DNA sequence: CTCTCGATGTTCT
DNA sequence: GAACATCGAGAGG
């Protein structure tokens, strides 16, 4: 069974927390008890006020306030007037980890089964989709980006500041007892060219060869 | 496959 | 007024 991540997990160095989040499962529970679950396959670390790519580099403002609060809370903002992005606050004031992509999973009994993943990611594509269902490749892309992830899980600014350690509505579970060790790739972060030398930091991490990682 | 562009609203200068 | 941690549609090869 999965274990809900406690605040202790979020209190490590931001880059370490980012890497450790890969392979964990984000869980969203709705009022009717229904759940959406996805394996975290892509993240980026934003390491506080001196990191010029980090929103906190503009100082402690109304928008970035929760990034300066306790670890293990959600920092959510609206981007391009359309999409929301989900971050987890870490211990360092002003630092957070951006969740960029999830591989959707299905709960079958007490087990989690990944959907739309190729054999090299430990699961085969589903068989012929039944009418009304998405094909495997389409399922894999349902949360393959920071905006899409929030769209899929219906996460908006009402979750800004949400305590992820409560195990309600939105939290992260560790199912490592059932998962395979996977290779991690590090690259430059996406869309932060304005940040000078900080744009070169290899603080984007993703699971190699996973079908749900965002495009670029 | 590649590239370009527009949508849309909050935040900060 | 500009910029923005994005995405998908549409045009062209």
The predicted-structure confidence for A99-122, as pLDDT tens digits, reads as follows 999 999 998 888 899 998 864 444
Nucleotide nearest A77 (Cα, C1')? B10
Q: From the CA of A83, how many Å to the C1' of C7?
A: 9
Instruction: Check if residue A147 sits with its Cβ under 7 angstroms from strand C.
Output: yes
Instruction: Check if residue A55 sits with its Cβ under 7 angstroms from strand C.
Output: yes
- Determine the pLDDT at residue A119: 47
Q: From the CA of A120, how many Å to the C1' of B11?
A: 43
Q: From the CA of A80, how many Å to the C1' of B5?
A: 14
| Global confidence as pTM | 0.94
Instruction: Check if residue A191 sits with its Cβ under 7 angstroms from strand C.
Output: yes
- Determine the pLDDT at residue A87: 98
SS3 of residue A16 by DSSP: helix
For residue A91, name the pLDDT band (cuts at 50, 70, 90).
very high
Nucleotide nearest A55 (Cα, C1')? C5
Name the burial class of residue A156, with classes exposed (0-12), middle (13-18) and buried (19+) by CB atoms within 10 angstroms of its CB.
Answer: middle
SS3 of residue A79 by DSSP: strand
Instruction: Check if residue A78 sits with its Cβ under 7 angstroms from strand C.
Output: no
**Mean pLDDT across chain A, nearest whole number?**
92
Over residues A151-159, mean pLDDT: 98
Chain B bases closer than 7 angstroms to a protein Cβ: 7-13
Nucleotide nearest A96 (Cα, C1')? C5
Measured CA to CA, the distance from residue A75 to residue A43 in angstroms comes to 14
HEC profile for A85-133? EEEEECCCCCEEEEEEEEEEEEEECCEEEECCCCHHHCCCCCCCCCCCC
Residue A183: pLDDT above 70? yes
Both tokens of residue A59? 């100082």
Instruction: Check if residue A82 sits with its Cβ under 7 angstroms from strand B.
Output: yes
């Amino acid at each position: 069974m999965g274990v809900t991540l406690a605040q202790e997990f979020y209190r490590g160095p931001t880059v370490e927390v980012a890497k450790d989040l890969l392979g964990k499962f984000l869980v969203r529970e709705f009022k009717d008890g229904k759940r959406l679950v996805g394996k975290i396959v892509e993240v980026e670390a934003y390491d506080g006020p001196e990191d010029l790519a980090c929103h906190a580099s503009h100082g402690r403002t109304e928008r970035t306030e929760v990034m300066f609060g306790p670890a293990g809370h959600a920092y959510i903002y609206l981007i391009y007037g359309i999409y929301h992005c989900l971050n987890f606050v870490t211990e360092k004031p002003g630092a957070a980890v951006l969740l960029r992509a999830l591989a959707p999973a299905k709960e079958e009994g007490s087990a989690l089964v990944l959907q739309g993943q190729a054999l090299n990611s430990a699961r085969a594509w589903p068989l012929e989709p039944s009418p009304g269902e998405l094909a495997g490749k389409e399922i894999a892309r349902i949360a393959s980006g920071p905006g899409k992830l929030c769209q899929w899980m219906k996460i908006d600014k009402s979750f800004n500041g949400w305590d992820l350690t409560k195990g309600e509505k939105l939290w992260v579970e560790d199912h490592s007892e059932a998962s395979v060790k996977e290779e991690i790739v590090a690259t430059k972060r996406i869309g932060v060219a304005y940040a000078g030398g900080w744009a070169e930091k290899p603080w984007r991490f993703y699971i190699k060869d996973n079908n749900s990682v965002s495009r670029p």
